[in-house]
Amino acid sequence: MEQFIIPRVIVHVDMDYFYAAIEEREDPSLRGKAVVVCMYSNRGESSGAVSTSNYLARETGIRSAMPCKIARSKNPDAVFLPVRKQLYEQVSEKVMTILRSNADNEEGFEKVSIDEAFIEITESCKNDYDIAKDMGIRIKEEIKANENITCSVGIAPNKLIAKMASSFQKPDGITVVRPNDVKDFLKPMPVKKLWGIGKVTEEKLYEIGIRTVSELASCDVMELISSFGKSKGMWLKNAANGEDPTPLKGRKGADQIGRMASLEHDSRNESMIFLLLNELIGDVIVKAEARKVYFRSMTVTVIFSDFKTSTKSRTLSHAVCDRNILMETAKEIMNKFLEESAMNFRRIGIRVEDLQESTGQKNIFDF
């Protein structure tokens, strides 16, 4: 019996040489130079390891995790800088806000690391890969407009292929792999390019005569199970055929609930804006009630027609789960946005945070 796979559209966004790109942004004189960001040890700049480097540095053989001493010997003229983790985390949070705002819902966002994430846009693009590509381009533009750094984007029917696609045209690229193109996309690749295959697995596959993804896909599954065990063997067979049912690891029980959506067209029309805001608030309240939680703070996000993103937050005097209070406060914030900017609105969002478990009906004495 053939397994029925629900069609999905998954986007993987991977920032380009993230730490070094931020350093170039902060100091434009670094552009055109080999830049290496190092995690130094307590012994000073003569020790430690490379955290990341830009592409000019990589062309000279410098790689992540390489000892800084070796990196300096490969390119003495490169600019070596210490890691500024707090700065990178601040930029990452802004990038992740943009990505989260483009996901179908809160469960459709999965942060993988400080500089990469998956989002699901199946509903937003109506499972149409042409629309999905337009969304991917828009995401790249939003990040560039807001943070002045670039990213590479992969769009595919599952996480495995989306992850591999984002690396296909680095830097600043976008690769779309439609469901019918998955096998052709994988066919010519060496097995080491298959996401999830490490050095040990690669060498073991070589031992049994498998060097390409195509050869792995056509290999008898029982032979793979014999060599790798049932779980790993089945995974290798499925992955080589481009199959990956893995769901996004949305933040189950996360400390926030949010919704975001686009206006029918870029506009400052208050009726249109508040109608959509009311709809988003309704969805958030339904989710909060389903999780039996109250919220203490809230954030309204606006993405303008030039892709600039702005947020305003408000902390309430006590935790509530009340649609009227949320709507009243959100309207006040939205009116501030309308007063402060003449730009048309493109997307708006509402998020509640500082969640607290409900322990029963709250009354005035609880506050």
pLDDT at 359: 60
At which residue do the structure tokens 């949070």 appear? Answer: 93
Note the CATH number of domain 18-85: 3.40.1170.60
Residues 239 and 243: their CA atoms lie apart, in Å, by 5
pLDDT at 43: 60
Q: Which of 116, 120, 142, 147 is catalytic?
A: 116
pLDDT at 249: 81
**For the chain, where are the alpha helices, taking DSSP H only?**
18-26, 55-58, 68-74, 85-102, 129-147, 159-166, 182-186, 199-207, 213-218, 221-228, 230-240, 270-291, 323-340
Read off the pLDDT of residues 132-151 as tens digits, 9 standing for 90 and up: 999 999 999 999 999 999 99
Angle subtended by helix axes 199-207 and 221-228, to nearest 10 = 120
Residues 300, 333: contact at Cβ < 8 Å? yes
At which residue do the structure tokens 């073991």 appear? Answer: 204
For residue 36, which of 4, 9, 13, 67 has the smallest C-alpha distance? 67
Residues 40, 68: contact at Cβ < 8 Å? yes
CATH architecture of 187-240: Orthogonal Bundle (1.10)
pLDDT at 225: 93
Spans of all domains in the chain: 10-17+87-183, 18-85, 187-240, 256-366
User: How many residues does the structure list for the chain?
Assistant: 367
pLDDT at 121: 94
Residues 220 and 254: their CA atoms lie apart, in Å, by 42
pLDDT at 106: 76
| No. of helices (H) and no. of strands (E), the chain | 13, 13
Angle subtended by helix axes 230-240 and 221-228, to nearest 10 = 140
pLDDT at 185: 96
At which residue do the structure tokens 């680095």 appear? Answer: 170
116 is catalytic: yes
Q: Could you confirm whether domain 256-366 is CATH 3.30.420.10?
A: no
pLDDT at 367: 36
CATH number belonging to the domain at 10-17+87-183, selected among 2.40.37.10, 3.30.420.480, 3.30.70.270, 3.30.930.10? 3.30.70.270
Residues 37 and 110: their CA atoms lie apart, in Å, by 26
pLDDT at 11: 98
What string of DSSP letters covers 103-118? SSSGGGEEEEETTEEE
Residues in the chain predicted with pLDDT less than 70, given as ranges, are: 1-6, 42-46, 250-254, 359-367
Read off the pLDDT of residues 277-310 as tens digits, 9 standing for 90 and up: 999 999 999 989 988 899 999 999 998 888 888 8
Q: Are strands 345-353 and 293-304 parallel, antiparallel or unpaired?
A: antiparallel
Q: Tell me, rounded to whole angstroms, the distance of Cα 236 from its chain centroid.
A: 25
294 forms bridges with which residues in the sheet?
356
In terms of Cβ atoms closer than 10 Å to its own Cβ (0-12, 13-18, 19+), residue 114 is middle
